[in-house]
Structure 1
Amino acid sequence: MSDDQGLFGPDSVTWRVHREPMVTVGGLRSLYLQALHPRAVAGVEQNSRYRQDPWGRLARTSTYVTTVIYGTTEEAERAGKRVRALHARMTAVDRRTGERFRVDEPELLRWVHVTEVESFLTAVVRGGLRLTPQEADEYFREQTRTAALVGLDPATVPDSVAAVEAYYERMRPSLELTADSAATGIFLTVPPLPYGLGLTPVRGAQFGVSALAIGLLPTWARRLYGLPGLPATDLVTSMNARVMGRLLRSVPIEWIESPARKRAMQRLGRRN
């Protein structure tokens, strides 16, 4: 047993948020948002093999996130170091200007970080997790530690609900639906399923999760994708998110918790 609680610990808002299975829907939502940044999506399209191995990419990303959340301080820092080293070798070309850029530019790292953590929080709250405004702000403050792991100065990262909203307002003029982002959006909505599952009811369930992730997007993001930005969409999505959140919360956490969380609970001598 160890008393190393890692970057956050079981009493943090981060642990409360990431205990919720709806974070998975939030992760998918963040990918739709990230694809609206022309350089961010170009960096992924030109450096990643996610189309050839989407589920492997998902598993690796999930392992990174859960290691950072639940791992020891050393494990989290080691995971961050690997990501920084990987990004440092990558460049891409802005298809609009022909300019080559580094994928670890602070603007791009910040966009990916903010869309990810904001999506996690949005999905779990609309899925039924009750947080006070102060707790929501605390989540963003805590998550500046994960921003530091990928090479960002925490002082440059939005650290409250209001700061995130202001950040989105500043970023919106630079966002657009490019050929890359449209292709990515389609791929995320109907990805290839392994083991022939695309010909089974699993396809319908997967499409339902994608539709929920899209519905959870901000109104302005849905409109950029050419989708309705009606108030009724938000109302229906909130109802569906609450139903899914309640359904997922009924599954015993021992069945679905990550290996990193299991190890953390054992390390700290905690019960679920």
Structure 2
Amino acid sequence: MLGPLRKRLRLTFAGESETIPAWETALEDGDDAGFFPPDSAVWAVHGSMSTIAAGIRALLTQALHPGVLAGVVDHSNYRADPLGRLAGTIRWIFTVTYGDTAAARAACAWVRGVHVPVTGTYVSPGGAHEQYSANDPALAEWVHIAFTDAFLRSYEAFHGPVPGGADRYVAEWATAGELMGVADPPRTEADLAERIRAYDAAGQLSGGPRVDEVVAFIRRPPLDPLLKPGYALLFGAVLDTLPPRHLELLGLSRPRLGPVPLPLAGAAKATLAVIGRALGPMAPSEAAARRRLVRLGVL
């Protein structure tokens, strides 16, 4: 019964339904243990099914910065090939998480290289025309903190407390921020929350028609029909994890049945559990990394 679901999930996340992508098995290679050990908070968070919900949350939050949004809308093919873009993002996350340090650095350098021609102008919330580059430290920081916040909050909401605490995950994943050109990524949960508030307090976040267009796409992406009901449920559950201010800018509201809020967290956990059963207990990328660590004598 889980076979058809497994095939569609693998095709959606990896671009292949029958075989393991070569980049995942290549994580068995390498000469060191990588930036994050198997008992790290990063392995715990990124190895859970909550990352699926976190991806939705990260995209919504990143869209609130008009400079980041301009780069996506003007330079990416997210509408024509959304699954390809998703597969590329997953490859970066898992390579940095599970690869050796050379593979992680190479993955980040490749992304930064792709970002070099991503330049242009956007209209700031104050009405000024601003120049942007996808590799600008300020834009890279917003992408990083939106990612960190999304993966942290989604794990807490749909899985449980982070092993070692939230501060541990934020501090560990700061390494990825540095590899992506962020000058001083947050290293505590409190610092992460303050950075997010500071962007809004400085008038750097906004909603509007461009945000509405992207939100509409994220809300109803062109998924396989078998996956659409579960995705819709996860999207609604993710809205429950967003702060009111971000919901306001996104033009969204928490799911309700009339005046009664819909408690979707339990249903979201059940959906993620089914996905986990379909995909198996361990991602091929993590399994490959563990084989490398055994070879190196780390495990």
TM range (shorter): 0.7 to 0.9
3-state DSSP of counterpart to 1:116 = helix
Distance 1:120 1:238 in 2: 16
Q: Deviations over 1:40-61 (max 9, x none)?
A: 1011111111110001100010
State how many pairs are aligned. Answer: 261
1:145 equivalenced with 2:175 (yes/no): yes
Letter in 2 for 1:84: R
Which residue among 222, 231, 245 is the counterpart of 1:220?
245
- Residue 109 (structure 1) aligns with: 140
Q: Normalized against structure 1, the TM-score is what?
A: 0.86
For the pair 1:97 / 2:128, whether they are aligned, the reply is yes
Contact 1:189 1:211 in 2 (8 A): no
Structure-2 residue corresponding to 1:14: 42
> The residue matched to 1:94 in structure 2 has which SS?
strand
Is residue 125 from structure 1 mapped to residue 156 from structure 2 by the alignment?
A: yes
Query: 1:160: which partner in 2?
Result: 188
* Structure 2 residue identity aligned to 1:217: L
Q: CA deviation at 1:180?
A: 1.7
Q: Which residue of 2 aligns with 1:236?
A: 263
1:183 and 2:183 correspond? no
Query: Structure 1 residue 165: deviation in Å?
Result: 1.2
Q: Which structure 1 segments of 5+ residues have no match?
A: none
Shift of 1:224: 1.8
Could you tell me how far 1:137 is from its partner in structure 2?
Answer: 0.2
Gaps of 5+ in 2: 1-27
- In 2, the alpha carbon distance for the partners of 1:183 and 1:245 equals 27
Could you report, residue by residue, the CA deviation over 1:47-81 in whole angstroms, capped at 9, with x for unpaired residues? Answer: 11111000110001001100000001110011111
Specify whether residues 207 and 237 from structure 1 end up closer, same or farther in structure 2 by C-alpha distance, changes over 3 A only.
closer
- Counterpart of 1:236 in 2: which secondary structure? coil
Root mean square deviation of aligned Cα: 2.7
| Correspondences of 1:226-265 after superposition (within 5 Å) | 226-228=251-253, 236-248=263-275, 251=277, 255=280, 257-265=282-290
Q: 1:242 to 1:204 in 2, by over 3 A?
A: closer
**Alignment check: 8 A CA contact 2:95 2:107 kept:** yes
CA-to-partner distance for each residue in 1:76-112, whole Å, 9 max, x for gaps? 0111111122222220211343333212111110000
CA positional deviation for 1:202: 3.1
CA-CA distance at 1:205 after TM superposition:
2.2
In structure 2, do the counterparts of structure 1 residues 162 and 233 end up closer, same or farther at CA, with 3 Å as the change threshold? farther
**8 Å contact from structure 1 (residues 47, 92) kept in 2:** no
Give the secondary-structure state (helix, strand or coil) at the position aligned to 1:93: strand
Return the structure number with greater helix share: 1
Deviations 1:125-151 (A, max 9, x none): 11122336x521011111111011111
Contact 2:212 2:251 in 1 (8 A): no
1:238-267 residue CA offsets vs partner (Å, 9 max, x unmatched)? 444444455555x276x2643321210111
Task: Describe the shift of the 1:187–1:118 C-alpha distance in structure 2 as closer, same or farther (beyond 3 A).
Answer: same
Residue of structure 2 aligned with 1:63, choices 65, 74, 91: 91
Does 2:65 match 1:46?
no
Return the alpha-carbon distance in structure 2 between the equivalents of residues 228 and 63 of structure 1: 31
Provide the rounded CA distance (Å) in 1 between the counterparts of 2:116 and 2:199. Answer: 24
Amino acid at match of 2:133: R
What TM-score does the superposition give when structure 2 sets the normalisation length? 0.79
Amino acid paired to 2:107: A
